[in-house]
Chain A
Amino acid sequence: MQSGRWPQSLLGRVGLILFAGLAAAHVLSFWLIVTERSMAMGGMMVSYLASDVASSTAMLERLPPAERDAWLPRLERPNYRLALTSHSQGPTSSSPLAQSLVQAVATVWTPPRQVRAVDLGDPGTFSLQLALADGTPLSVIITRPGLKISPWVLAVLAAQLALLAGLSWLAVSLATRPLEQLARAADALNPARLPSAPLTTPLPERGPSEVTRAATAFNAMQQRIQKHLDERMQILAAVSHDLQTPITRLRLRADLLDDTALRDKLHADLLEMQALVEQGISYARSAHAAQEPEQLVDIGALLESMTRDHTDAGQHVTLDFSGHTQDPPSYPTRPHALRRLVSNLVDNAIKFASAAEVTASLNASGTLSICVLDRGPGIPPDQLKAVMQPFYRLETSRNRGTGGTGLGLAIAQQLALVLGANLTLSAREGGGLQACLVIERTGDVR
């Protein structure tokens, strides 16, 4: 796992690297300019300060001692002032500026005078201690000049950094957006799609040459998958359909046999084959369910009549339907597809649990939910999604040689898609399987 601070997206990562690099380079060059400027200023200060101090000293020496204090303010400069006070005993300043000033000031005179730099506590503030010709102690209190940076310089700097950030983001998103689109298109690629509908919306084949090439390749791949899926469906339909005639002949041949034991065995095998063929045809045909027009349907009557068909055939199926009375009794959907779908789930429940409970509700906001519950062996949680894939079979007890094709739930899934419904399988509390179908009402009836 990545640490939380490192961004997960390519956009974030490349953007961060690009921006950090550009910002660092920018800050470095800003720092270089500032340093260079302050060094130049330091050098200038040293030379003018030495001659200034020399002329001030000469002036003070000429004035009578009583008048000297009055002149001091006039000799002040922005970065130093003079004081005629006894020397304080501070530590000798060792900063390069102080040392070069000591050197420069001392050598103004010939012979050089004694000059000492003393730290005054505040960083950047020190005093040069020397003596006038008459021995009066003189202190030059120097405040190291801070480099003044105008606020507008900072504003320009901030604007530049913002521009850099914006451009980095733009450049990186330009590079990563096609990837994002590709991922979205691949995500939307749905093998359990409506028939005749494309697998996914084709990518626009334009933009930079690399992107165009990737989009073209993706679209071609998508078409190949679609063709493959269609062919699979056609082969299944054709084989299933053509098997019906030989199976019919075999059944009739078996019926003509005098050996009843053999005949019964043949019948059992043939029934199993027939069930497989019917599932195959039913699956191939579920692709056409979208051709059924949407109509207003009395859901209560639909579920009731479907339940009766099962109970009339001697199966244990119960129905619990709660429709709100204030609801319109009719619901827009495809009645045959819905009936086949629910019936399919009921058949599945009966196959594995010998009984099915159907619970359904239609609420005021137009959400129809139909659940088919059983107390059978259920499906392991990690395979709940996989069983809805065509030809998927469980290795476990659920497929106890009942002649399952692995198509029953795939048919249901396909029909759910046609109905715009969401079909989910889950483990039922207390054991068994729960298959729930939820349809949200959208738009008007066509």
Chain B
Amino acid sequence: MESADHILIVDDDAGIRDLLTQYLRKQGLRASSAADAHQMRAQLAAHRIDLLVLDLMLPGVDGISLCRELRSPGSAPLPIIMLTARSDEADRILGLELGADDYLIKPFAARELLARIRAVLRRTRMLPPNMGQRQPAGRLYFGDWCLDTTRRHLLDADGTVVALSGAEYRLLSVLLQHPQRVLSRDQLLSLTQGRESDVFDRSIDLLISRLRQRLGDEAREARYIKTMRNEGYVFCAVVRGEPEAA
């Protein structure tokens, strides 16, 4: 049951740790906390944790290596929400996507974190286990295009930057992470929502048509995004982590 979900909060700031634990408990969740990587590992070993709220900048260990450790093959899939203060370092790391399921910029509202926790839990339960896993890749190649996930824009065949709006980027990156798989509008909405704090109220259909326009794709003869009648959309091109050998 959702009310029994166990959240582990890892943050080096005692105030934030205690306040978040208190708040999540008040909301009917189980919550534990850890101050560093060492305590985190101990907690993970002792309890069945459903979701990790992880501060990106922990003393001694950076978010990249912790995330890599938690995402390494063989370890149990564990949804992660990253917390980070705004900084250049955080930007750089977040650009790598890390494989975290979501991230929140400090300062954030407690309600916002709760909403993200629920969204991530819902999402990971909705999709098969292997699909919640994201590959931390800086660039995804498909057809003539390349999506730069660090800078969050497209590059065409000539290397020209083709910018995307926030919503377009989120939808395209969700599609690229699940190629050859039909995603319903509800799934797409759920997967794209809640990644950013800005309002996201455009319908999926409008965003799809904008993306097709950007990619020079036709709805009838789709090379990239195919419409599956009464089902949703499927990204039909091959997605690679490196450019196709020319």
Contact = CB atoms under 8 A, between A and B. Distances in A.
B228 interface: no
A330 B158 contact: yes
Contacts of A267: 109
A115 interface: no
Contacts of A248: 13, 16, 85, 106-108
Interface in A245-277: 245, 247-253, 255-256, 267, 270, 274, 277
Given A245-B85, A281-B87, A302-B163, A309 B107 contact: no
Interface string B189-211: 00000000011111000000010
A335 interface: yes
B118 to A, nearest CB: 16
B151 A336 contact: yes
Interface stretch (B18-26, B125-133, B173-181): B18-26
A175 B91 CA distance: 54
Contact of A308 (B26, B160, B168): B168
Contact of B87 (A241, A270, A297, A335): A241
B15 A297 contact: no
Interface in B31-88: 85-88
A132 B43 CA distance: 150
How many residues of A sit at the interface, in one of the four size bands?
Answer: 35 or more
Nearest to A334: B161
Interface in A84-133: none
Given A251-B108, A297-B160, A335 B23 contact: no
Q: Most B CB atoms within 10 A — which of A244, A250, A301? A: A301
Contacts of B15: 245, 249, 252
B111 A245 contact: no
A111 to B, nearest CB: 121
Contacts of B86: 241, 244, 277-278, 281
A249 B19 contact: yes
Nearest to A244: B85
A255 B161 contact: no
A251 B163 contact: no
Interface in B1-34: 13, 15-16, 19-20, 22-23, 26
B50 to A, nearest CB: 21
A330 to B, nearest CB: 4
Contact of A252 (B85, B88, B110): B110
Contacts of A245: 13, 15-16, 85, 106
Nearest to A298: B162
A382 interface: no
Contacts of B147: none
A249 B198 CA distance: 22
A255 B160 CA distance: 45
Contacts of A302: 161, 163
A274 B214 CA distance: 35
Q: Most A CB atoms within 10 A — which of B87, B153, B163? A: B163
Interface in B75-119: 85-88, 106-111
Interface residues of B, number: 39
Nearest to A445: B159
B225 interface: no
A252 B23 contact: yes
Interface in B192-246: 198-202, 210, 214
Nearest to A336: B151
A12 to B, nearest CB: 53
B165 interface: yes
A441 interface: no
A314 B165 CA distance: 14
A296 B22 contact: no
Contact of B161 (A249, A253, A270, A297): A297
Given A244-B106, A252-B16, A295-B159, A288 B165 contact: no
A137 interface: no
A256 B166 contact: no
A256 B110 contact: yes
A305 interface: yes
A247 B162 CA distance: 36
A249 B151 CA distance: 30
Contact of A306 (B107, B165, B198): B165
B164 A305 contact: yes
Nearest to B210: A308
A288 B160 contact: no
Nearest to A303: B163
B206 to A, nearest CB: 10
B97 to A, nearest CB: 17
19 contacts: A241-B87, A244-B86, A247-B106, A248-B13, A248-B16, A281-B87, A288-B88, A296-B161, A298-B163, A302-B163, A305-B164, A305-B165, A309-B166, A312-B165, A312-B198, A312-B201, A329-B160, A330-B161, A335-B161
Interface of B: 13, 15-16, 19-20, 22-23, 26, 85-88, 106-111, 151, 153, 156, 158-168, 198-202, 210, 214
Given A295-B160, A298-B163, 17 more contacts: A244-B106, A248-B107, A249-B13, A252-B110, A253-B19, A256-B19, A256-B110, A274-B107, A302-B161, A305-B164, A305-B165, A306-B163, A309-B165, A309-B167, A312-B198, A330-B158, A330-B161
Interface of A: 241, 244-245, 247-253, 255-256, 267, 270, 274, 277-278, 281, 285, 288, 295-298, 301-302, 304-306, 308-309, 312-314, 329-330, 335-336, 339
